[in-house]
Structure 1
């Protein structure tokens, strides 16, 4: 085998048909309108006997058992080790569903179809390999990301539908903007990126990473890649790349960050897709400018490390479980169309009953990749910016891809769980033990 560094990229259309179930909301939606295509995008890096694969999929979330099967298929058809394969969701909330989240159901035909398409994208990227070079960089884009968790003014009642008590913070205070005191925490404003060119200076791929949850400026029932897709198209156009180029945007540590700016709600256009277009294109412009000064590496060393961390599961008490069962028994979930606090109580009651069936511990996927002088961390859930910023400390070329190799849900730091708020409400998408974030972060630090 030629020891020279090679890279290849490819994308495969995964746009679901109309009628496909969409998750990512409190209730199920159905695809009624396709605004732009969705893709699975693969980037293959090879140096001697070491091959690393990064796959970014336009989807909300993919659970670990699903991705373990996909990786096994990739290994069977290509020989690439699962530990060297990173597969993540962009976390667009307007895609086909392969996971049951709250009342958002999984679409079984789409779940059966998607693995083959992901494998196809990896095999196509392998076919497209050619001698290459890489570069890492970063640029700050603070204007498009804000903390969505707020301390509210004295006397405000932030109700918790799980405990029946009050939270110390409020997430996304729609209609209560006048009650906001201040944001809870700073967010991560940085866009990190890995750039890949052929030795002929033709572009192969740019993989970017931004800690912005998603934009969501579309009507429910829409299929769209959100700003992730806008960036990917625009960066290729700005670079003058040919049709072989694959632009990729991954999700960083954005568990408490979005761009629904409750303190300045009029700073973006309100038309459907206008905000995601503006944000995606602006990030692409800034990355394109930063690419002009990238230091290229023609012979980067590659390595990968993977571990599964055992973490405890938070479950309801016996009393909480009995109360939840009673509420579930009297609720007609199929009639729910609008979500208010009473409906949230019923949705989260169902979550307690289902969560109680979980094992007492789960295995959480953690991965570290070294690509030349740069590093990429991968975590299988939604982490807060605090986690990503701590992982970046003393690392010049590093970013964290979340929703990678699995999806466990929110993993906030312990002090944020104690404060409460939507991201911490105990359910199947927020259930790890109080100290799980620290345990997982420390393990990733060790791997890095």
Structure 2
């Protein structure tokens, strides 16, 4: 019989226990391998002419200048899978997103509450929902839903080991608050003849009547970047609080600067020839009161698409600078939370309805160019709305990065407040996400009046909606930060 010394026996028992514990951990703990996949599905209409929203009057397009896409990034850290989809559309109603999420979830297994879908807010896309005098392009809605679904499914099918990181760029040159105080004595008209507005949206640039902007801007350019283990770029998701650029002929569709940014950033980081194809997206931050007009100095007339090219190139260069500072991680914690809250609706009263009915009855049949008639028609539409609506809100944690979503054209003040108070640094916001519920002025901005507050299908939430939405998003950030 072989004798084993007590020290040797002790060492053997310790090693056996360690091996057993390691085996149990390897079976019970998820593998800490990050995987990612990205795909851009073409959502350009297949038939023309097609309804195109983004204007107070009805508009149809007979061609597409550049393609529209639903771009998707899927991230899986072995514990949690999430999908982020960015669509070249002005706005997309919740019903389309919900249908696409349900279909994609059945195929991929990604929970619907772990899918964030948003619109860029290009004003030259096919209409997915009625706005002002523009109906939805009914023969396009089904195709759009299917392509959003496919973007998620295809991105999920391309999951591969990956690295992820983020950085913050800065570009103050392309964002300007579009709501302005005017000098005393300058009249500001409104379509309801109230005469109570104190600010004007998009006044003449460099006019003697201009006093000062009614709000701030957010120049940040957050960049979320994903690479394959060998360094091949998989995706870049950027964010900028700029409404859109424009300068597109009325008969054309275009992804605006959002699509041009995606093409330019791919070239700047040498990601133009990769397999699977590299995917870049520019999400819209909080730009309900922000645009690309330099009201302080004005600017000259440009050819169609020229300003789009200039803005995209400038913001892409800022994103590239941030990209060069990204520190990539092979694994990060990922959490996502979703909730639904109820917000009130500003419905018209009896007197407002009677005024609107008389204006419409006394006018020739539409479509109309007179704003009083356009908003009278909107008043009659809003009279049919419910007293409250439910909106879907989400928060994401990717490492120390926070992302929140809003289904509204959210004012920059809200985004800045969320960034300041968020427990995750940095944090950025994606608006027009998971539905469309119009403009979201703060109570203070509501008191100033102006276009963004005028009640219509694109501005109908109650005055107290913004504080409720902001508080909910901060609470969700607190949950995912824990």
* TM-score category (smaller protein): over 0.9
Whether 2:366 is the aligned partner of 1:334: answer: yes
Task: List aligned pairs for 1:134-173, cutoff 5 A.
Answer: 134-173=164-203
Partner of residue 414, structure 2: 387
Kept after mapping to 1: 8 A contact 2:176/2:295: no
Partner of residue 291, structure 2: 258
Kept after mapping to 1: 8 A contact 2:36/2:74: yes
Kept after mapping to 2: 8 A contact 1:253/1:387: yes
Say what the alpha-carbon RMSD is for the aligned residues: 1.5
Cα deviation digits, residues 253-307 of structure 1 (max 9, x gap)? 00000012232222x6611111110110111112112211212121111111011
Mean alpha-carbon deviation: is it higher for 203-212 or for 388-397?
388-397
Q: From 465, 471, 482, give the equivalent of 1:442.
A: 471
Task: List aligned pairs for 1:112-123, cutoff 5 A.
Answer: 112-123=142-153
Whether 2:103 is the aligned partner of 1:85: answer: no
SS at match of 2:208: helix
Whether 2:93 is the aligned partner of 1:60: answer: no
Partner of residue 5, structure 1: 34
Partner of residue 314, structure 1: 346
Aligned residues: 442
Whether 2:248 is the aligned partner of 1:215: answer: no
Cα deviation digits, residues 314-353 of structure 1 (max 9, x gap)? 11111111111222233345343xx3xxx11111111111
Deviation at 1:176, TM superposition (A): 8.8
Task: Sort the Cα spacing of 1:175 and 1:389 in 2 relative to 1 into closer, same or farther, 3 A.
Answer: closer
C-alpha distance in 2 between matches for 1:50 and 1:61: 28
Q: Which has the higher contact order (CA 8 A, sep 6+)?
A: 1
Kept after mapping to 1: 8 A contact 2:88/2:121: yes
C-alpha distance in 2 between matches for 1:176 and 1:135: 41
Whether 2:134 is the aligned partner of 1:104: answer: yes
Partner of residue 20, structure 1: 50
Kept after mapping to 2: 8 A contact 1:215/1:275: yes
C-alpha distance in 2 between matches for 1:330 and 1:247: 51
Structure 1 gaps of 5+ residues are none
C-alpha distance in 1 between matches for 2:445 and 2:262: 33
Give the alignment's TM-score, normalised by structure 2: 0.89
SS at match of 1:155: coil
C-alpha distance in 2 between matches for 1:239 and 1:258: 27
Kept after mapping to 1: 8 A contact 2:57/2:367: no
Structure 2 gaps of 5+ residues are 1-29, 478-482
Partner of residue 448, structure 2: 419
C-alpha distance in 2 between matches for 1:260 and 1:304: 36
Give the alignment's TM-score, normalised by structure 1: 0.96
Q: From 307, 323, 326, give the equivalent of 2:355.
A: 323
Structure 1's consecutive aligned runs of 4 or more residues displaced over 6 angstroms after TM superposition are none
SS at match of 1:178: coil
Partner of residue 292, structure 1: 324
Deviation at 1:3, TM superposition (A): 4.7
Kept after mapping to 1: 8 A contact 2:64/2:252: yes
SS at match of 2:230: coil
Task: Sort the Cα spacing of 1:269 and 1:193 in 2 relative to 1 into closer, same or farther, 3 A.
Answer: farther
